Amino acid sequence: MTPQLLMLIITILTLLFIGYCFIFSKWVIGAFIAVFIQSVLLFSIRYFCQDKEFGDAFTHSFDFLTIVIVIIFAIYKINKDKSSE
């Protein structure tokens, strides 16, 4: 299986999962986690299988929106844990 085909399959599965989460209101935060996991998988494929440089693989796998969403989610979880104490 070629790396491009594998990345396409991962992206399609992620989009289907996100659509399922939002359409059926199931575990919405899971959609954001899926985007992060997809980015990690795409980075791994680009870095290890396609032999791209670290910086190129990182910038093509993690878009700005993904990074912002993960940071906001982490801040939210930290604040939620502190307020529940």
Q: Give me the pLDDT at residue 65, please.
A: 67
Written as six digits, the tokens of 32 are 């954001």
The residue type found at 55 is G
More confident site: 77 or 35: 35
- Reply yes or no on whether the pLDDT at 13 is more than 90: yes
Domains of the chain by residue range: 3-84
User: What is the distance between the alpha carbons of residues 31 and 66, in angstroms, rounded to a whole number?
Assistant: 11
The whole-number pLDDT of residue 85 equals: 66
The pLDDT tens digits for 25-76 are 777 678 778 888 898 999 999 999 988 898 888 888 877 667 777 777 778 7
